[in-house]
């Protein structure tokens, strides 16, 4: 591993001064970054430890629920306010990684984690995300875990988070601090598709810091479900996951939120399928129609062809669970 400097600036303002220079990386839990450094995928000159900043709080606000960027995944998943106001988020978090990793991983770090594409981690293989212009090993290679939506000829990787899928479904907003103050970005616009620049995972401006996320109040608590289909029941990334939340009155869907994980370079929100569900009866038939609509534009790359069937089946199943039909 390349030698690096380790610093712990005392304040958020001091952190912003330091991260505004090339070659710096922020470290919180380090559950992904340390792996990347050990394997030579990333080699920062300077690590900026932010663990002491006061960004761990979880509070109820008039508009919704505020979660600090340094709140641990385990703490958020067990928090009473989260369970009461946004149970879908708690469910998604509990399905991620392992208890040990959740005890280290922060909310901001979860958002910033990188793809688990095997070619990205193997420095002997071509990978446009690791070395722009070197090619994509997965495109015609082993791509069982890879994208079926929004990919490009440059990269077909998926974002690995479960938490982010729930936050995308729940219309969360990312709060970002920079030298000019704070600004807010809708969660669905935080991560990006690969296009011609797969080396860039998200739209966090250079030199800025995620300080928290806010989830607006909703009426989706009673009928929500996070379904994660994976190779084993713990410590495995999603083949396909679905965050589903419904507001149902007298059997009719008043509002719907749907997003998928394991299928795209970013959490994949299913806006058209949501619209289709509004005003429909909460039934398996409606859910199958939404699932079919959600699959428009899906494309597989060989080993991941099974996702074309698994994804709509998972959407239907998640909606059935959310509606209490199973
Ligand atoms: Fe690299 Fe993306 Fe291709 Fe994987 S899918 S090898 S991350 S460019």
For 241-259, write each residue's pLDDT tens digit: 999 999 999 999 999 999 9
Q: Which of 39, 125, 156 to mutate to test the pocket of ligand 1 (most atoms within 8 A of CB)?
A: 156
* DSSP characters over 155-177: B------SHHHHHHHTT-EEEEE
Kindly report, residue by residue over 264-322, the tens digit of the pLDDT. Answer: 999 999 999 999 999 999 999 999 999 999 999 999 999 999 999 999 999 999 999 99
- Chain centroid to Cα 132, Å, comes to 23
Residue 61 has pLDDT above 90, yes or no: yes
Cα–Cα distances in angstroms (integers) from residue 145 to residues 40, 59, 127, 240, in the given order: 22, 36, 16, 9
State the DSSP H helix or E strand holding residue 223, giving kind and residue range, or none if neither.
Answer: strand 223-229
The distance in angstroms from the start CA to the end CA of the chain is 50
Does position 9 have pLDDT exceeding 90, yes or no? Answer: yes
Dist. CA 227 → ligand 1 center (Å): 26
Output the CA torsion sign for 57, 68, 319, 240: negative
For ligand 1, atom 2, which residue shows the shortest CA distance? 155
The pLDDT tens digits for 178-216 are 999 999 999 999 999 999 999 999 999 999 999 999 999
Q: Using alpha carbons, list the distances in angstroms from residue 42 to 22, 34, 88, 262, 284.
A: 13, 9, 33, 23, 46
Q: Looking at the DSSP assignment, which residues form a beta bridge with residue 173?
A: 186, 214
| Chain mean pLDDT for the chain | 98
Question: In angstroms, what is the span from residue 33 Cα to ligand 1's centroid?
Answer: 18
- CA dist 281 and 38 (Å) reads 52
**Mean pLDDT, range 1-5, rounded to an integer:** 93
- Report the atom number in ligand 1 closest to the C-alpha of 130: 1
Residue 95's nearest CA partner among 264, 227, 262, 246 is 227
Residue 195 Cα distances to 154, 155, 237, angstroms: 7, 8, 23
* pLDDT of residue 60 exceeding 90: yes
Q: Whose CA is nearest to atom 1 of ligand 1?
A: 127
The residue whose CA has the least distance to atom 3 of ligand 1 is 136
Is pLDDT of 63 > 90? yes
**Pocket-testing residue among 113, 116, 127, 154, ligand 1, by greatest number of atoms within 8 A of Cβ:** 127
Alpha carbon separation from 146 to 55, 93, 111, 201, 233 (Å, rounded): 33, 21, 19, 15, 19
Best substitution site from 121, 123, 125, 129 to test ligand 1's pocket, by max atoms within 8 Å of Cβ? Answer: 129
Distance from residue 28's CA to the centre of ligand 1 (Å) = 25
Residue with tokens 């600004």: 183
**Domains of the chain and CATH, by start:** 224-323 (3.30.390.50)
Per cent of the chain over pLDDT 70 is 100
Residue 72: DSSP 8-state: B
Reply yes or no on whether the pLDDT at 260 is more than 90: yes
C-alpha 153 – ligand 1 centre gap (Å): 10
Residues 6+ apart with CB under 8 A from 254: 219, 247, 248, 278
214 contacts: CB under 8 Å, gap ≥ 6: 61, 63, 64, 65, 66, 67, 172, 173, 175, 184
Q: How confident is the model at residue 1 (pLDDT cuts 50, 70, 90)?
A: confident
């Amino acid at each position: 591993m390349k030698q690096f400097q380790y610093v712990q600036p005392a304040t958020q303002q001091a952190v912003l001064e330091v991260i505004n220079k090339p070659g710096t990386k922020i470290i919180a839990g380090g559950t992904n970054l340390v792996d990347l450094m050990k394997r030579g995928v990333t080699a920062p000159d300077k690590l900026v430890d932010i663990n002491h900043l006061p960004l761990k709080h979880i509070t109820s606000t008039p508009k919704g629920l505020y979660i600090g960027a340094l709140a641990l995944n385990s703490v958020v998943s067990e928090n009473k306010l989260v369970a009461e106001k946004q149970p879908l988020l708690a469910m998604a978090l509990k399905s991620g990684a392992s208890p040990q990793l959740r005890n280290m991983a922060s909310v901001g770090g979860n958002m910033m984690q990188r793809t688990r594409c095997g070619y990205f981690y193997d420095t002997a293989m071509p990978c446009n995300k690791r070395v722009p212009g070197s090619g994509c090993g997965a495109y015609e290679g082993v791509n069982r875990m890879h994208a079926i939506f929004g990919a490009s000829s440059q990269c077909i990787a998926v974002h690995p988070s479960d938490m982010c899928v729930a936050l995308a479904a729940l219309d969360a907003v990312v709060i970002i601090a920079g030298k000019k103050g704070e600004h807010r970005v809708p969660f669905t616009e935080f991560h990006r598709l690969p296009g011609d620049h797969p080396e860039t995972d998200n739209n966090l401006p250079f030199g800025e810091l995620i300080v928290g996320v806010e989830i607006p109040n909703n009426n989706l608590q009673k009928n929500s479900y996070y379904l994660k289909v994976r190779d084993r029941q713990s410590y495995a990334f999603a083949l396909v996951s679905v965050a589903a939340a419904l507001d149902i009155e007298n059997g009719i869907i008043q509002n719907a939120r749907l997003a998928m994980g394991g299928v795209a370079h970013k959490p994949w929100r299913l806006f058209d399928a949501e619209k289709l569900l509004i005003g429909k009866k909460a039934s398996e038939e409606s859910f199958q129609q939404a699932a079919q609509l959600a699959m428009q534009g899906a494309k597989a790359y060989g080993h991941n062809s099974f996702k074309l069937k698994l994804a709509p089946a998972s959407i239907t199943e998640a909606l059935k669970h959310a509606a209490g039909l199973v």
